[in-house]
């Protein structure tokens, strides 16, 4: 087990290195110069070519690409994410507050999806062909196909503008104002969790139906075991493997989906932070946020792989 974990951690470092390099190069291939955008924001002073070059040199953008990359990556390894090109703030300090907001929403969304999704899938499988099965199927199809921003806008229009039950935008941390935090979290959490709930419900339904058709389950029914014991002892655990596999992907979607949801609901998390930085061509901010998101996804996949051994004792880690 320890050898497997060490090997996976090594692979994770390689993945983060590759992602950081790709993002670094793609950002500089995009049209737009962050220095010219910065100058455009300071129209109250006259800029000479010498001043522009001095500003570019102070931001480290006159160095070659390899020098820029290794300087930024080595600083990041020491826990220093650098300084924003556009706004000159410490990125690490900003990330601390943004990560807390995104993780709060992400954990809540993941918890909702991992509870509601399998539950709907189990109910749908047990009541196959019944009314509840049709309702869950329709809900799952809508959740998978409907764009997040469209669902978010519809919910804002209905619950915030028409019914005036929930706030339109913003986010308050629970230790600041718990009641307001809950009200502000309902719509973003639902929108973020909708896709994972739908995918998990469909996967759970298929997995449970497959297990229900196995010989040992039919034997359990024939022995006169009640429905609850058959489901708990024979069906659920043997249906967990594909569901656990899916949860790693769902966590990745929740982290990635925060970009859209945080932008729509104006939530000061990592998603909105990165979109704002992208619009301003703030290279160091985008690179840092991407690495942090990649780290979350890589860790989630490692946890899912380790859970396989708990779900299925036949799996051996070499």
The domain ranges of the chain are: 95-311
As a whole number, mean pLDDT of residues 252-269 equals: 76
Q: What would the pLDDT profile of 107-129 be if each residue is shown by its tens digit?
A: 888 888 888 888 888 888 888 88
Q: What would the pLDDT profile of 147-199 be if each residue is shown by its tens digit?
A: 888 888 999 999 988 888 888 888 888 888 888 889 988 999 999 888 888 88
Residues 37-57 as b or e (16 or more Cβ within 10 Å = b): ebeeeeeeeeeeeeeeeebbe
What is the structure's pLDDT at 256? Answer: 57
172 or 237, which is more confident: 172
What is the structure's pLDDT at 165? Answer: 87
Banded model confidence at residue 317, pLDDT cuts 50, 70, 90? low
Share of the chain above pLDDT 70, in %: 86
Q: Is the pLDDT of residue 41 over 80?
A: no
What is the structure's pLDDT at 250? Answer: 66
What is the structure's pLDDT at 287? Answer: 87
What is the structure's pLDDT at 309? Answer: 62
Beta strands in 42-104 (DSSP E): none
What's domain 95-311's architecture? Orthogonal Bundle (1.10)
197 or 62, which is more confident: 197
Most confident stretch, 136-140, 231-235, 241-245: 136-140
Banded model confidence at residue 248, pLDDT cuts 50, 70, 90? low
3-state secondary structure at position 133? helix
Q: What would the pLDDT profile of 79-104 be if each residue is shown by its tens digit?
A: 888 888 878 888 888 888 888 888 88
The whole-angstrom separation of Cα 153 and Cα 160 is: 10
The whole-angstrom separation of Cα 265 and Cα 188 is: 7
Query: With the CA atoms of 139, 145, 147 and 153 taken in that order, what torsion angle do they form, in degrees rounded to the nearest 10?
Result: -30
Most confident stretch, 33-37, 236-240, 251-255: 33-37
Q: What would the pLDDT profile of 6-35 be if each residue is shown by its tens digit?
A: 777 888 888 888 988 998 888 888 777 777
What is the structure's pLDDT at 88? Answer: 81
Other CB atoms within a 10 A radius of the CB of residue 253 amount to 19
What is the structure's pLDDT at 318? Answer: 58
pTM of the predicted model as reported, rounded to 2 decimal places: 0.77
Instruction: With beta carbons less than 8 A apart as the criterion, state whether 98 and 296 touch.
Output: no
Q: Name 83's bridge partners.
A: 90
């Amino acid at each position: 087990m320890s050898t497997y974990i060490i090997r996976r951690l090594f692979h994770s470092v390689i993945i983060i290195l590759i992602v950081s390099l790709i993002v670094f190069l793609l950002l500089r291939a995009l049209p737009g110069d962050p220095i010219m955008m910065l100058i455009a924001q300071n129209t109250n002073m006259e800029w000479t070519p010498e001043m522009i070059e001095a500003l570019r040199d102070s931001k480290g953008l006159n160095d070659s690409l390899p020098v820029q990359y290794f300087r930024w990556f080595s600083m990041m390894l020491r826990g220093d994410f650098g300084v924003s090109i556009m706004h000159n703030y410490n990125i690490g300090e900003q990330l601390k507050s943004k990560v807390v907001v995104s993780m709060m929403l992400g954990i809540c969304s993941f918890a909702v999806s991992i509870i509601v999704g399998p539950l709907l899938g189990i109910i749908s499988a047990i009541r196959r062909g019944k009314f509840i099965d049709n309702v869950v199927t329709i809900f799952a199809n809508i959740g998978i196909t409907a764009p997040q921003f469209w669902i978010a806008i519809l919910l804002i229009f209905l619950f915030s503008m028409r019914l005036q039950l929930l706030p339109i935008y913003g986010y308050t941390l629970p230790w600041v104002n718990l009641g307001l935090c809950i009200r502000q979290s309902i719509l973003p959490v639902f929108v973020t969790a909708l896709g994972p709930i739908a995918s998990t419900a469909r996967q759970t339904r298929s997995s449970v139906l497959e297990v229900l058709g196995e010989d040992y389950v039919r034997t359990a029914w024939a022995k006169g075991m009640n429905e609850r014991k058959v489901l708990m002892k024979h069906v659920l655990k043997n249906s967990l493997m594909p569901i656990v596999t899916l949860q790693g992907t769902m966590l990745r979607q929740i982290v990635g989906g925060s970009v859209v949801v945080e932008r729509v609901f104006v939530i000061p998390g990592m998603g909105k932070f990165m979109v704002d930085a992208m619009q301003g061509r703030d290279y160091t901010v985008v690179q840092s946020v991407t690495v942090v998101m990649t780290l979350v996804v890589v860790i989630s996949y490692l946890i899912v792989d380790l859970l396989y051994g708990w779900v299925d004792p036949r799996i051996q880690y070499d």
